[in-house]
Amino acid sequence: MKLLVFAHTPPPHHGQSYMVQLMLQGFGGDVRKKPPAATLHHEYGIDCYHVNARFSRGLSDVGEFQGTKIFLIFWFCAQAVWLRFRHGVKNFYYVPAPGKRVALYRDWLVMLLCRPFFQHVILHWHAAGLAKWLESETTMSSRATTYRLFRPVDLSIVLSKYNVADAGKLLSQQIRVVNNGIPDPCPEFQEKILPHRRESFAARQKIFAGAIPAAPLKVQVLFLAHCTREKGLFAAIEAICHANHLLASRGVPMKLELMAAGNFVTGEERAEFDQLRQNPEVAACVHHAGFVSGEQKAALYAKADLFLFPTRYLGENQPVNLIEAMAVGLPIVTTRWRSLPEMLPPNYPGLVAGQNPAEIAEAILKVLGEKSGEQVRQHFCEQFTLTQHLTQLAAALHSVE
């Protein structure tokens, strides 16, 4: 099967671009960049021809209008059409936009310019909520244009049951649910990470049961995402401070510290964060590591006792950071938002309704006292490995032929 992959890889680095990168690597990369023999008999049977449709240079550019993006649309579409005829690629793979007007207009142009030349159109819905956004936030003419240019498509690949509504709105002939999946970040979990998780959990249980340690127990809470209000940074800060007040009022010798890792997208939110840390109480328990990757990120995950992600991001679907947190066996507190409840084990106690600091604080303390992280690690192994993802994704892609 020949597949035209019209999607960008990092940078900028976010869940969607990372998953596209993993897909390309897993399917053997762009066949034009490898010797012919290297692509023969590939285990997934998919030859990728990649148009790296990178419209944004950084996170602050994503979804924003810039004149150069119009030129880039035509340039990338010209590459796709050339590949269609030069290499006989009949299958067009595309990642639709979340609910943002500029991104939607970009999708219109791409469909208008490319769709007539390809036999099959495949949409991979990495963002969620477009169907609801179209109905509630756009005009009737915008909805009509979207439906006319998109539907019906041959295949929609969605990440969750929640996501099916987006694909259904465009009358997809097939809809396949395929979880995201990542390489195991700690294949030696049993030997290197699990003993620490169990030891920390046992110490917390003793303290919640009334034990008095020699010194207050420090608990490391990790927030790893873009540092924005929508992703939950400021709700996380307030929740940690509130949880520390609750612990003090209940006489529990425990203190929570928040490590925020990730880049700020806007200068205003960076300034707000710096202003908050002028308060000595916040400065004592909230720290910022900036963007992390590789060994630095692995060290933060290993050191943490809980992963906190109170997101209300408009396009949130199946974020890679939650999958990584499960993979390293971290107890999790996140929101009942879009696809997130489907990601966690059934009846998981770490779900909150929104970004209310008091509710988040209570959930943090509950999860710290009840969960070691072993349950979510097992859930990762059953649902979110890279091999499972690539196998199911390849099967879905082959179904169009």
Question: How confident is the model over 193-245, as pLDDT tens digits?
Answer: 999 999 999 999 999 999 999 889 999 999 999 999 999 999 999 999 999 99
SS3 assignment, position 333: strand
Q: How many Å is the maximal CA-CA distance in the chain?
A: 73
Q: At what angle do helices 15-26 and 320-327 cross, to 10 degrees?
A: 70
Residue 14 pLDDT: 82
Sequence letter at residue 186: C
The hierarchical CATH code for the domain 2-181+385-398 is 3.40.50.2000
Residue 112 pLDDT: 95
Alpha carbon of residue 202 to chain centroid: 31
Pairwise CA distance, residues 350 & 308, whole Å? 9
Exposure b/e, 145-161, CB count within 10 A at least 16 = b: bbeeebeebbbbbbbbe
Name the DSSP class of 385: B
Residue 247 pLDDT: 97
Every domain of the chain with CATH number 3.40.50.2000 lies at 2-181+385-398, 189-383
Predicted model pTM: 0.90
Tell me the DSSP string of 27-72. TTSBGGGS-GGGGTT-TT--EEEEE-----SSGGGTT---HHHHHH
The token pair that represents 385 in the structure block: 């490995």
pLDDT along the chain (401 residues), means of 10: 95 87 94 66 86 72 60 95 96 90 90 95 90 85 88 91 86 92 94 94 95 92 97 98 97 97 95 96 96 94 97 92 97 96 94 97 97 95 96 96 86
Residue 60 pLDDT: 47
Q: Which residues contact 359 (CB under 8 A, 6 or more apart)?
A: 352, 353
**Architecture (CATH level 2) of domain 189-383:** 3-Layer(aba) Sandwich (3.40)
**Is 375:345 a contact under the CB 8 Å cutoff?**
yes
